[in-house]
Amino acid sequence: MTPVRWRWFVVLGAAVLLVALPAAVQHRPGGGPPTRPTADVLARIQASADVGWSGRAQSTGTLQLPSSDSFATLGTLLGEQVELRAWWRGEDSWRVDRVRSTGETDTFRDGRGQVRWVFESERATYSPVSTIRLPDAVDVLPPSLGRDLFQGAQVDEVAFLQGRRIAGVDAVGFVLRPSDPASTVGRVEAWFEPTTWLPLRVDLYGRGGTTPVLSTTLTELDLRPPAVSAVRFDPPASVALAYEESTDVAAAANGLELADLPSSVAGLPTRDGRDPGAVGVYGRGPTTMIVFPLRGSVARPLREQLERNAGTTQTSAGTLAPVGPISVLLTRLPGRGGGFLLAGTVTPETLTAAAAQLQERA
């Protein structure tokens, strides 16, 4: 071998080794054993909310929701790639950081209150927790989203899926195909930690979709419960803690009690089985619809945004905009331009039927 060649072989060898080694480690075969979904397993998935853990997650959404100040966070969560860091002690005690290269937005949940910290604006805001609110960063964590989508799942809707190695865990996979005709979700693929049944990765597909409209996966996982200090926010002395009555427009609407919604709409009962106030969350698992009243000042700009979307149509019920598997309908109430906002992973026909029922009731 000439001196020229052996040196280049050294270069080639080093390059191949440095590229192949991490790739081999990342893609090494893995995955939990084939497991039959049973009612007990589905119950344990829901019970995994009590499992303490910490780690990192990455969520990628492809849904282009109408831009609106009131729903800005939602648009980011469902339409962009989001890096998350989380410490979870239980449903009432956790911390979720939305990490950016310019800073981070952190939410600290402590019992019945939560603090939101935004680094770039140096703003810390305390607000009471509302049972009714819009989806937030915590809801796209794989454990939260997995539990939400498998809530109310029937055993015959769930099938075994090939296991995968996720966040260093040989995970067990299930696919959920909702049987509700009202659902716009085609299937949910999810992988779970096999001892705690903590969801580690969730891929959500629309009907007939080949790529997930929302995919969220844990990239690192530590199954030791974090310390209390990890989820507690101590405001810096230079920052005054602000107070807000509600976390978002849905929580605000619920608090104001502008309307009294029925216990079921379009054949869908409330998700928690309770009688709703001004805001109702209906359906189960992947067939979910939220209904709440909007004041004219919020409804008008949102209606204008919806009207700019290509797929938007005006129906007798209101302004209807399908965004992937999410359907959005904004009705018009007599008066100053307010209306009911109905949105969820249900068909436009379901929303229209629900709107008609609400108009009749109004």
Q: Give the interface with other proteins as residue ranges (CB under 8 A).
A: 3-4, 7-8, 10-11, 14-15, 18-19, 22, 56, 60, 85, 97, 99-106, 117-122, 124, 220, 233-239
Nearer to other proteins, 237 or 310 (CB): 237
Q: Least separation, in Å, of the C-beta of 119 and other proteins?
A: 5
Spatial contact of 145 and 213, defined as CB atoms under 8 Å apart:
no
Among 288, 308, 273, 294, residue whose Cα is nearest residue 358: 294
Nearer to other proteins, 2 or 316 (CB): 2
Question: Count of residues for the chain?
Answer: 362
Tell me the C-alpha distance between 206 and 346, whole Å.
Answer: 11
Q: Least separation, in Å, of the C-beta of 171 and other proteins?
A: 20
Nearer to other proteins, 12 or 39 (CB): 12
Q: Least separation, in Å, of the C-beta of 255 and other proteins?
A: 26
Measuring CA to CA, how many Å separate 190 from each of 70, 214, 222? 30, 12, 19
What is the crossing angle of helices 39-47 and 142-150, to 10°? 140
Q: Least separation, in Å, of the C-beta of 118 and other proteins?
A: 6
> What string of DSSP letters covers 325-361?
TEEEEE---TTTS-EEEEEESB-HHHHHHHHHHHHHH
Nearer to other proteins, 60 or 154 (CB): 60
Tell me the C-alpha distance between 82 and 347, whole Å.
Answer: 27
With residue 95 as reference, give the H or E element that holds it. strand 93-100
Tell me the C-alpha distance between 255 and 270, whole Å.
Answer: 18
Nearer to other proteins, 84 or 279 (CB): 84
Q: Least separation, in Å, of the C-beta of 115 and other proteins?
A: 9
Q: Least separation, in Å, of the C-beta of 9 and other proteins?
A: 9
Nearer to other proteins, 60 or 309 (CB): 60
Nearer to other proteins, 10 or 155 (CB): 10
Tell me the C-alpha distance between 81 and 110, whole Å.
Answer: 27
Tell me the C-alpha distance between 167 and 218, whole Å.
Answer: 6
Q: Least separation, in Å, of the C-beta of 103 and other proteins?
A: 5
**Residue whose token pair is 């009432």:** 92
